[in-house]
Amino acid sequence: MAYCGEVMSALPPQQSRVMGRIVGQNGPRDSDSSLASKWRRLHRQAERLAMLAELSPEPLADSLADFPIVIDQSGEVQRHLAMQGIDDIEAMLRPGMAALEAMRQRKASAKVPALALWREFYKARHSVMELSQTHPA
């Protein structure tokens, strides 16, 4: 087994490089705008969640806004992990937001469960942003 960057590979280094080029050219790869698009969509959901939790909306600025650019420059492995992390956060938010909307439609207060979901979102986003070492304090 050989090390290819930080990832251990079962292939010798030369074959790992060749395989990486082949996958990079022919494999499924989301465009850079796709990562940025997913990131913006995630934060639109977070804005709605913040409103339900009665929190001030968090502006998508500075390191939050720059995350897609920075992670794209960090390498393919970090980019893939970031995409998976964003997908995971969206999957976590989907049922939670549906439940909060159902509560709101029944005229029940969604503040406390929304705040709990916000905390989970915040921690998960922090973990994804650790991939680039650019996260808000």
Hey, what amino acid is at 127? Answer: S
> Where do the structural domains in the chain lie, given as residue ranges?
1-29, 31-129
Q: What is the reported pTM?
A: 0.71
Distances (CA, A) of 132 to 44, 50, 62, 77, 115: 21, 24, 14, 11, 26
- Region of 47 (left: φ > 0; alpha: ψ -120 to 50; beta: rest) is alpha
CB 131 within 8 A of CB 78: yes
For residue 14, what pLDDT is reported? 63
For residue 115, what pLDDT is reported? 97
* Ranges under pLDDT 70 in the chain: 1-33, 134-137
For residue 54, what pLDDT is reported? 95
For residue 89, what pLDDT is reported? 97
